[in-house]
Amino acid sequence: MDRIFHARVHFLMYVFLGVLTAGVCLSFVYRMGLCAALTLLLLVVVVERIIHTAYTITADGRLVVSRGRFSRPRVIALRDVVRVERCRRMRVGGHSLFAYLLVTYGTEKTVAVMPVREDDFVETLTRRRREIAGRIATTSQPERP
């Protein structure tokens, strides 16, 4: 069964949406049609990316990182995942402004994910990796006559 995790929306994305909305409104007020159209288009792309970002761990052993309809999904085989580490950036007063998971796979390739439930994501990812490793170990053992 596939497990889908939705992305957590960072507070800076809300700030960015506010700035874009203000830009669209000011462009309409000052009658700058082209600027308003371009800013509105950018606003649509950003909102669509926020709403449709999802991380899917499939039953056949893949992690699919989908960042909206306007970008291609990144498919990662779970057997290629080397490590998953929690990263905290810009610590202020004991709290971090940026928190994400860094998934390292293949030959030092990385992808940053921000699932809503980080602990469930890491638990599901490690459990599926163990299941796949168990299946590979049982299928690769030679039969004895």
- Tell me whether residue 145 is in a domain: no
Looking up residue 101, the CATH number of its domain turns out to be: 2.30.29.30
- Side-chain half-sphere of 89: how many Cα atoms within 13 Å? 9
What residues form DSSP beta bridges with 7?
115
Between 88 and 109, the higher pLDDT residue: 109
* pLDDT of the residue at 137: 65
How many domains is the chain partitioned into structurally?
1
Tens digits of residue pLDDT in 35-75:
999 999 999 999 999 999 999 999 899 999 999 898 999 99
Q: Which residues of 40-59 are buried (b: 16+ CB within 10 A; e: fewer)?
A: beebeeeeebbeebbbebee
H or E segment and range at residue 118: helix 118-140
Top-confidence residue, 125 or 144: 125
Evaluate whether 22 touches 36 at the Cβ level (below 8 Å): no
Model pLDDT for residues 76-107, shown as the tens digit of each residue = 999 999 999 999 887 777 777 788 999 999 88
Q: Quick one: which of 119, 100, 98 has its CA closest to 111?
A: 100
The answer to pTM > 0.75 is yes
Does 93 reside within a domain? yes
In a domain, 117, yes or no: yes
The answer to whether position 94 is within a domain reads yes
Range of the domain at 86: 3-140
pLDDT tens digit string along 123-140? Answer: 999 999 888 888 776 765
Three-state DSSP class for residue 132: helix
